[in-house]
């Protein structure tokens, strides 16, 4: 089969939060202003939907369909890329979401490794990915590597071995791991039409140095403007400025971690910075006390104001 070559994902990709009502139901009305905020305030033109940041694994299949459809519909002719995460513990659910993503015109689909019954080998994981991709063969396909969450510690480079023969639609990798040797080996192995997207926000500069085409992350929802400058400085060869901007991101996250930083805090922080009503996380995550997020938002503004 001829490989599917989609528009190459580059630059910053915001891993979107899922807006919920105070009662914990999905809140589709916040998606249009959310997209406008990313474009107008952060200069972020692509999104990654229903992933870890979006609490995708805590949502029902039907909720994920509704959200994906709304993001694609409201982002049409505005966003450059809408990549929909369709990974589930169930192969059948993943295939259903992949077919739906194709129907609504998603620019790409991504799949995380199952993490309850874990694949024991790279071959087993590739077989799972192949079955999902086959449900939407015309949609660019990304493997989403995040071992700290899945507990699946297979090297991405091993997963990529011969993958385009099994998955002609394979387009690239979202690498949310800290092993830069593994990431570098993925870059070295990859053909030019793949996108290698780095997913550890506080280490982005290292990922760029290894050859990342772009980055997917939660902090780009509210730090996108600064990180766009970081990437621009790097590509211009202005490493001192790129390093300074990376250190600012690290300073913000170090402060947040000292305060106790998790997805609930991150989501509330986005609400504080953007003014969007994103609501609470879904159980078992507990809501973030508003003063904590407010304190982090103040520190963020202080650090960015020093630049």
Q: So which residues are the catalytic ones?
A: 144, 174
Plot region of 93 (φ>0 → left; ψ -120 to 50 → alpha; else → beta): alpha
Other Cβ atoms less than 10 A from the Cβ of 121: the count is 11
Give the closest residue to 105 by CA, choosing from 126, 135, 136: 136
- Residues belonging to the binding site are 53, 216
d(CA 247, CA 55): 28
- Residues belonging to the binding site for pyruvate are 53, 216
Give the closest residue to 47 by CA, choosing from 76, 70, 73, 81: 81
Helix ranges (DSSP H) in 45-90: 61-75
CB 267 within 8 A of CB 297: no
Q: Rounded to whole angstroms, what are the CA distances from 102 to 12, 68, 95, 99?
A: 23, 11, 11, 5
Q: 14: cis peptide before it, omega within 30°?
A: no
Other Cβ atoms less than 10 A from the Cβ of 305: the count is 7
DSSP annotation of 173 = E
Give the closest residue to 303 by CA, choosing from 245, 252, 246, 230: 252
DSSP annotation of 26 = B
Token pair for 231 = 């990437």
């Amino acid at each position: 089969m001829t490989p599917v070559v989609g528009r190459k994902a580059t630059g910053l990709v915001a891993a979107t939060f899922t807006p919920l009502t105070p009662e914990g139901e999905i809140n589709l009305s916040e998606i249009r202003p959310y997209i406008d905020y990313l474009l107008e305030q952060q200069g972020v033109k692509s999104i990654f939907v229903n992933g870890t940041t979006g609490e995708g694994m805590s949502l029902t299949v039907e909720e994920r369909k509704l959200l994906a459809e709304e993001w694609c519909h409201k982002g049409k002719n505005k966003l450059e890329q809408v990549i929909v995460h369709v990974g589930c513990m169930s192969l059948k659910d993943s295939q259903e979401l992949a077919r739906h993503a194709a129907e609504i015109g998603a620019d790409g689909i991504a799949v995380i490794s199952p993490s309850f019954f874990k694949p024991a080998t790279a071959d087993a994981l590739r077989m799972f990915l192949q079955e999902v991709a086959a449900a939407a063969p015309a949609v660019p396909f990304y493997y989403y590597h995040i071992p700290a969450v899945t507990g699946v510690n297979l090297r991405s480079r091993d997963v990529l071995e011969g993958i385009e023969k099994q998955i002609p639609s394979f387009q690239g990798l979202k690498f949310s791991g800290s092993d830069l040797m593994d990431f570098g080996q993925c870059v070295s192995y990859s053909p030019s039409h793949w996108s290698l997207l780095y997913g550890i926000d506080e280490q982005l500069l290292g990922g760029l140095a290894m050859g990342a085409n772009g980055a997917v992350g939660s902090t780009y929802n509210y730090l996108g403007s600064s990180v766009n400058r970081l990437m621009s400085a790097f590509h211009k060869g202005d490493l001192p400025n790129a390093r300074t901007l990376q250190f600012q991101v690290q300073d913000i996250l170090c402060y947040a971690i000292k305060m106790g930083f998790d997805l609930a805090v991150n989501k509330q922080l986005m609400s504080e910075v953007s003014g969007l009503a994103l609501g609470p996380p879904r159980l078992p995550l507990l809501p973030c006390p508003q003063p904590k997020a407010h304190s982090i938002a103040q520190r963020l503004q202080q650090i960015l104001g020093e630049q």
